[in-house]
Structure 1
Amino acid sequence: MFKKKPNIKPLSPLKSSDRRRTADQIIADFSIDVPVDANADPEDKTAPTACLTALRKSLLPENALSARFTTTAGPDLKQVSGTVYVGSHGGTNGEQRVLWIKFFDKMYPTVYTLWHNPCIVPLLYTPLVVVEKMQAGADLMTPGLQRGPPFPKKATKGAVVAIASLEAPTVPMAVGTCEIDVSALDKVQGIKGQAVSTFHWAGDEIWSWSSTGSSGGEPPDLIPGWDEKPDEDTSLAERTAAVDLDDQEGGISLDADPTKRSEAENAQGIDGEKAPSNQDFVDVIDDKELTTKEIDDAFKNAFLYGVRHHMDHNKDQPNYGLDFPLSQSHVMSQLVHPFLPTYTSARAASLQIKKSSWKNIRKFIRHLDKQKIVKCKDRDGNEVVIVDVDFKDQQVEAFIPYQLPKKDAPSGASTNGKSAAPLSAESSVGQKLKLVSLLRPKEKLAPILHASKADPRGLFTPAELKQLLIAYVEAENLIDPKNRRLVKINPQIADALLGSSAADNAALSSGTMPRDALAERMVTASSPFHAILRNDADIADTKPKAGAPPKIQITLETRSGNKTVSKVHGLEPYHIAPQPLADELRKTCAGSTSVDKLHGSSPKNPVMEVMIQGPQKDAIMKALEKRGVHKNWVEVVDKTKGKKK
C-alpha cells in the first residue's frame, strides 16, 4: 500500500474530544478490553475512568495530530485518500510517528502502535524469509501461515491482523487484512490462495515518515505481552530454516524439498496417498538461496577480509591506507563487495545488502559499531560514516581469509573477444576511448534498405546510410541526367523520406530533391544508438546502447552561503570507477571528496556522483583527459553564476 511515498497534507492538532472519540472507536472496533486496576478501591467510581483514560493515551497520545493523505493503490494505480494520526510514545524518544491510518472507514495500526500496545489485534506467524518478501509489498499466502491450526479466533475474514516472524515472534513487522477466515482453517498444506493482504510494513514509506525527517525506527528485540507459543513450537522455526519462498499469484508460498515428508507432516499420523506432502504446494529447487544468517555472515566476513587486506598490503601507511572518515559507498565498493565469498551463481545472486537482516549499509555499519569493530557517526542526517577501525579487535586479528570469486569483466570492456580485467584503482588511467554513434532505421525506411540488400533492423553509421541511399538510387536509376546531385522522387522515397512541409511539397512538385538533403532525411528517420569502445575493443564485440551518447556532467554550485563545491557524474559508461577518481582528486585539490548515489538515480542501477570541495572544474577535466575522455564528451553546468557553458 505504501511502497511509494504518499502525499500527506499539513498536520493539524487533534482536539481532545476528537482524540477521545477516535480512541473509543478504536477500542470498540478491535474489541479491546479496558484494563481493571485490581488494587483500586471498589467504592472509587473514578478508577474505571482512569483506566480508560490510560488506554486512550496509550492508543492515541495526547500530542496526536492528524492529516489527510493521498496515494495510489491497486494494479490500475487508482488514486485513494485517507487520514493519518501522528503522535509519539515514550519508546520512540519523543519522535512523532504515524500511529494509525484510517482508510475506507477502517482503522489500521502501524507497527509503532503494535510495538507499544501488545495484543490489540490477532497475531499471525510466518518464517522470517516470508516477512522479508512481505516487506517488499507481497501478500501472505495460506501455505505461509505457521503456528497453527488453531489460529487466533479473531482472525476472521476482513479482520485487521499483525504478522511476526517465527524468529522474532513477539515483534509484529507487518499489518494486513484477512482475505479468508483464517481462524476456521484446519490445515494449510495443499491450500492455495491469499490469506492476508498486506497493508503496511516496517520498511515502507509510512514507517519511514517522521516529524524530523529521520529514518524509520528500529524494531525492538523483544516485546513482552504479545502471546508467545510454548517452547515446543520453537522447533518449527528450525524446520522452516531450509524453506525457500517463491511468489504465487502475487503473494508468497513456501518452497521445500518435496522428496521427503517434514517432521510436521509425519506428526499428523497420516500415511498413504492421502498424506499431504510439501510437493502439494511447492516447486522443486536445485540450488537454494542463502538464508538471512548466511547473508549476514557473508557481509560481515567480507568487511573483516577488506580490513585485513588493507592491513597486509599497506603496512607502512597510516591507518593501513584507509582515509577516514569512510563513506557508506566507499565501505561497500572498497571493503565489502570485492571480498564477498564464492558461491554458486544462484546462491551468489542472493548476496545483496537488502536481503540481509540490516536491509541497508547504514544499519550494517551501526551493527559493526555495536560490536566495537568500528566507530561511526551520523553525517548530514542521512548517512553514517566510519571514523575509526579497531585493527586490534579480536575478530579482525582472528579472521582467516577464504577463496574469493573470480572477477567478471565489466560490460562492454572486452578486447578482441577476450575478457578484460576488472576496473581497479588505476585501470582507467591511460585508457583510450572511442565514441561510436550509430543509427537504426525506422520501419518506413525498410523498402529502401530491402532494395539495397541491407538489414532493415541493422545499425549503421551516417556515412553508411548515405551509401545505402546512393546504392538504392543507382539501382532504381533515379539520378537526374542533367544534374547528378539531384535524385528523382519515386513513390518509395516520397513515403519514406518526405512529409507535408513546404520544402517537401516543392520537391514533389519539381519531382527531384538534392541527394544530400535525402541523406539527411535518412539520418533523421533513424533512431540513435551509441557504443563507447575501450582500448582495442571492436564494435563487433560490443552491444550498442539505445539513445544519444551520454555526457559526463560537471556541476559547480554554492553551498552554505559562499562555499563552492564541484560535482561530477556519468563516469561509468566511460569505464571510470568513481572512487579512485575521488581519491586522486582529493590529493590533487588538497580538499575532501566523497562518493554517493546521484539523487534521483535508479536504485537498481544507481549512478554515482563524486563531490569535491571548491571550484575544481580544471582539475576534474585534467583527470578525465588522463582517462581518455574528450572535452566534447563533457558538459559543464555553473550554477554559481546561473549559466550553462
Structure 2
Amino acid sequence: MFKKKPTIKPLAPLRSSDRRKLADQIIRDFHLEPDTVPEAAEEQSAEDKAAATNARTALRNSLFPDNVQSARFTTTQGADLKQVSGTVYVGSQDGGEGRILWFQIEGRLYPSVYTLWRNADIIPLLHTAPIAMQKLQGGADLMTPGLFGGPPFPEAAKKGSVVAVASIEQPSVPVVVGWCEIDVSTLGSVQGTKGHAVRNMHWSGDEAWNFGVTGRPGQAAPEQIDGWTKVLETRGLVEKIRGLDLGEEGDEGGVPLANLNGIEPSKEQSQGVNEAGQAEDETQSRELTQKEIDEAFRSAFLYGVHHHKTSNPGTPNFGLAFPLSQSFVMSNLVLPFLPAFTPAEAQQLQIKKTSWKNIKKFVKSLDKEKILKSKEKDGHETVILDIDFDDAAILNFKPYRLPKKETAAGTAQGRGEKATEQADAGDDSIGQQLKLVSFFKPTTKLQPLFTTTTKQLLTPPEVREIVTAYIESEALVQENNKRLVKLNPTLANNVFDGTGNLDKEVIAKGSVPRDALIDRVLHGMAPSYAIIRNGDDSNATKAKSGSPPKIHIALETRSGNKTVTKVSGLEAYFVNPKLLADELRKVCAGSTSVEALAGAAKKNERPVEEVMIQGPQGEAVLKALAKRGVDRRWVEMVDKTKGKKR
C-alpha cells in the first residue's frame, strides 16, 4: 500500500486522552490484557490494583509513547490504484528518530514494523520462504502455499485479523504487516491449496518505513529480536522453521514447499509458490546419503570453531562466550559453514536428516568424542560449557570451499578463509596503533612568554621548556628556593588575573611554585589535539581545536528490564561503527544495530553513528576497542541501569 510515497499532512501533537483511548483500543482489539485478572474488583488488594495500573500504563507507553503525533494521509492501494486515506501516528522510543508507529485505515489500526520490533507478540507472526519474502517486500500478497511453519498456525491468525510475516532466515524479525484473507489458524495443510492468505499492507522498505521526522532513510531491520524468539520457542517454531532440534521426520504443512522434508511439491503447490514469488525448482541432483549429511554437519562445526580460532586469536575463548545455546551453535557454528553442494543437494542438509535427528543429540555426540563439554539445561536443551580447542580434530582441520553468500548476520563470516580475510581486511582498524597528542596554542595575552618560538601549536613538554627558558632569561628563580619563581609584571598581569583566591595569594606573596606556574600557563592556552595513527607524522596531522573526545559507552534499560549497550564517538579513533557492530554481533551472540546519533553532528558534517548491542556488553566493547588500539583512558562508560560512572 505504501509502495508509492503517500501524501502526509503536517503532524500535530496527540492529546493525552486520545493517546490513552487509542492504546486501550489496541489492547482490547489485539487481546493484550493480562491473562489473570480477578473477576471482581473488590477481590484485588491495593497492591494488586497498583501493579495492574502500572502494568497497563507501561503497556500504553510502549504502544503509544507520550511524544506521538498524528497526521492525515492519502495513498493508493491495489492494482487499480484505488485512493485510500487514513491517519498515521508518528513517535519515537528512547529518544530515537520519529517514525510511523501505527497507521489507521477504515477504522482499523495496523502496527508498523518499528512497533513490532519493540513489542513482541502483539499480533500473530507467520513465516514464508526468503524468495517469497523478496516479493512481499515489493508489495505482493502472500499466497496460501507460501505459508511455512505449520500447521498448527497461530490461533489468532483468523480471517480479518492483523498479522505479521517474517522470513524463515530471520524468523524472529517481522518485516511485513497485513491482514488474513482466510482463516489461517484452521489450515490442516497448505499442500494443494490456492489463493491469497495475507493481504499486504506495509513492509520494511516501503515509504511508510522510510518516513522520518528528520528526513533520514528508514532503519534497517535487526538481525534477531529476543522477544519474538521467546514467542517462537514457546510455540516450538524455532527448531521447526530453522531446522533446529527436529526430532521427527515427515512433518506436514507449509514446510514441504521448500522441499524441507525431501519430497517434491505438487503442481498446485508450485503454482502457489510462483504466485508468492518463490523460485522454480532447482535442477535435480543425486540424493545424499545419511553418512554424507552427518559428515557435512560435523565438518561444519569444526569449521566454525576453526574460524573463531583464526579470526579472534587474541580474545578469551576466541570470541565465544560460554555457555553456548543450541540455537547459537546451529546459527553461528554450523549453518554458515555447511559445504557447498549443488542447490538441490544443499536443500538436503538438514539436521533432521542426520543420524542424530536434532541438534541436542548432535552436541552430545561431540561431547562423546571429547571435542567439547556439554550439560543439559532445564531438561530440554543441551548447552556447550567448553570446547577443547587443542583437540586433534580441530587442530588438523582443513578448510574447504563454501558457498559465496552472506550469513544470516549479514557479514562475510563463515565463507571460507578467503572471505574471512576479505572481511578482516575491510576493517583496517584492527591492530592499528593510536597515539593521542595534546597541543596548546598561546593566546594573545600569553604571547610575551613565547617570543622565542614561531610554532603555533606546542606540546606540554615544549610549553614547559619555553616557560623554563623565560624564567631563567628573566632571572626569576628565587635564590633561597629554586622551586619558587618570582613574579614580574608580565607574569603578574598576563598569567594571574587576580580573580581567584590562588591568584590573590600568589600576587600577595610575589612568588609561585614553578609547576603551578606552568600548569596555569597551560590552563590559559587554547587546547587542541590530534590522534596519530600507525606512527604518522604528528606535524603533518591536522590538529582539531578543543579537548580530546571520549568514546562513550552507555548501559541502559529498555522495555522494562531489558538492558542494551550503546557506543558512540568511534569515528574520531578511526573505528568503523558498522564493522564493529558486525564483530560484536558474533562475539556477544546478540543483535546489533547502527543508527545516526541525532544532534551529535553539526550541519554539513558527517553524521555520528551509534552502535547498539543487546545486553550488558560493556566489557566486550572494551575488548573490541582494545584490539583497535583504543586506550581505556579514552573511553567513558556509564551504567545508567545503576546510576554509576566508571
Query: What TM-score does the superposition give when structure 1 sets the normalisation length?
Result: 0.41
**Which one has more relative contact order, counting CA pairs under 8 Å at least 6 apart?**
2
